[in-house]
Structure 1
């Protein structure tokens, strides 16, 4: 199936300095592709200042769209986002090297129990789900344009238990397909990645007897080809032969990559933004968190028709209260734009993500209003 473009612990100061340097180097890229403050002929905004964000590469395209639109409306604001990965984003935010972080996995209880460099001394941080996207199982296999896989086959491929494309387990799921007698080249993330954690969580929930590694940001098994970031995995799959990988769905279309259908219940389901959003709305919040913390406990074992449980929920992580009140005001304004219908539409148009539901948007906006 071809991708459719239809929207679908505190750490040392050295890391913080490195994080800021990384943003400085990437700020031009983060602001390319859209209007900047100088493109706006008139701005009634009284906001001014600079915000630095670091985090999930899955959010990269959406952040470009959000930044362009927000800077157009706020001529004296500059926002830089460096898509260095979810793990890097959380570490930089904890160290005070970023005003906000993007992460495909929410801050853990252990992380929330620590301190945060940019937050007021008595403040914790909040997880705000603003970006919902399918995780695509992307592939580039000679002579195969329509590939069907279940959780067991995916787990065995990425664990290294299935090593050839014409393996009987794959053939049984793809009756009539001309699968090549060729070795599988599996591509996983080399960096700490929330996309990896979500991908691993899907397999761990569905086939724990095969995928026996607890979900973490680091890919748990050796033997595959490793690439950095969403674009790195997608490029490796696109430029290789008989390859397979996993990535935010927005990475598939620009490279004309095939995307596998996955088995949900008794049916094989093609990913879509709508099917991914349906799983999120049916899942509860993580228990024991503050009312303003909206971390979601995804149920990936659903067999309900029209759902796609291989999904990532990407968060913006911010201080509840900032040490610098002006920075808090800027963060609150930017996050308000992202969570607005306009901001969600910008991400859908640019990245093919699913706009968050009205119910979830109400919770997110209520939480953002408490940021100061």
Structure 2
């Protein structure tokens, strides 16, 4: 029977301070803040080869560092070299057979589905969600401690319809705050990014009248300044008064950036593990009865539920369901089992949210099915 290769992107940089493999990596010091990681007995057999390779999403980079350390403690000598080049690059490298799996915040495109099957020996590739986390609306606005935005305002900022911080729409959302009359500089990901894809899907769901630019891994807004990778967005926001950008909360927290709160219509909600967890409960699978675990997040992005922070990102490990050699298959399963069990206990340290129990059960079955 067919088994899914849930390849989890593991970072070479462990909490002990190992450097990430490859070039152009983001700063991984946030993941090292989880140095208190502990692990008991292994969650899975420690078979297969000692080293795995993966590439892709910068959003899951710090989570992968956590998983990599936990795996190395549970299975001595095991390590994953993860190159955080962005989701688009990761999917391409996986399809080309250059890495064992891809880390991606967006699923394979329709055209890539067949290309991935070709790479997997005419077996389908599966999307296995291992990490959830809130996406921060990080901003640089001196004197404004608690900024509130909503989907409509964000859509208009990132499409160029709102250009100044003292715009009446922002003033209405922030009574009592002194918003300065300075230009807004939107910061977006200039590389192919799953975070961009999720952000634009959020804008489409939360503000369909104001965001008509479309979706996808390339930014469609047409305004602002581009920056490479999550670390680049953080650096651009830090260095630009009046800037606002979207980036994973763990990176924003690590850099000491302020994160805006979002009002979806049922009250103002800050980006926290708890509020993101409330929103995640609204996520649904695109297909039932399959080990391919792609999620439909539109209901989550459009939620009006109280205490739910709607701008949440899911990152997948894209793996072959079959077609790996036995040593690779055993190692991928070992890593994924560890990451989806004891590895989840440490995610909050790096700014991520644990998988819901019902999702963990389905994920465990998918990992067991890998051949």
TM-score band, normalised by the shorter chain? 0.7 to 0.9
Which structure has more relative contact order (CA 8 Å, sep 6+)? It is: 2
Q: Aligned ranges for residues 172-191 of structure 1 at < 5 Å?
A: 172-191=172-191
Q: Take 2:97 and 2:289, find their aligned partners in 1: how far apart are those partners?
A: 22
Aligned to 1:360: 359
Aligned to 1:141: 141
Aligned to 1:348: 348
Q: 1:98, CA displacement in angstroms?
A: 1.1
Aligned to 1:54: 55
- Call closer, same or farther: CA 1:35–1:78 in 2, change over 3 Å: farther
- Call closer, same or farther: CA 1:29–1:220 in 2, change over 3 Å: closer
Q: 1:193, CA displacement in angstroms?
A: 0.6
Aligned to 2:78: 77
Contact persistence 1:93–1:116 (CA under 8 A): no
Q: 1:169, CA displacement in angstroms?
A: 1.2
Q: 1:221, CA displacement in angstroms?
A: 2.1
Contact persistence 2:46–2:334 (CA under 8 A): no
Q: Aligned ranges for residues 94-173 of structure 1 at < 5 Å?
A: 94-116=95-117, 119=120, 121-173=121-173
Aligned to 1:15: none
Contact persistence 1:23–1:54 (CA under 8 A): no
Aligned to 1:86: 87
| Unpaired segments ≥5 residues, structure 2 | 1-19
1:332-358 CA-partner distances (Å, limit 9, x unpaired): 111111111x11122222x12110011
Contact persistence 1:135–1:248 (CA under 8 A): yes
Q: Take 1:295 and 1:158, find their aligned partners in 2: how far apart are those partners?
A: 27
Q: Take 2:223 and 2:26, find their aligned partners in 1: how far apart are those partners?
A: 36
- Call closer, same or farther: CA 1:249–1:33 in 2, change over 3 Å: closer
Number of corresponding residues: 343
| Unpaired segments ≥5 residues, structure 1 | 1-21
Contact persistence 2:94–2:116 (CA under 8 A): no
Q: 1:142, CA displacement in angstroms?
A: 2.1
Q: 1:224, CA displacement in angstroms?
A: 0.8
Two-structure CA RMSD over aligned residues (Å): 2.6
Aligned to 2:9: none
Contact persistence 1:186–1:245 (CA under 8 A): yes
Q: Take 2:118 and 2:232, find their aligned partners in 1: how far apart are those partners?
A: 30
- Call closer, same or farther: CA 1:127–1:45 in 2, change over 3 Å: closer
TM-score by length of structure 2 reads 0.86
Aligned to 1:193: 193
TM-score by length of structure 1 reads 0.86
Aligned to 1:312: 313
Q: 1:116, CA displacement in angstroms?
A: 4.5
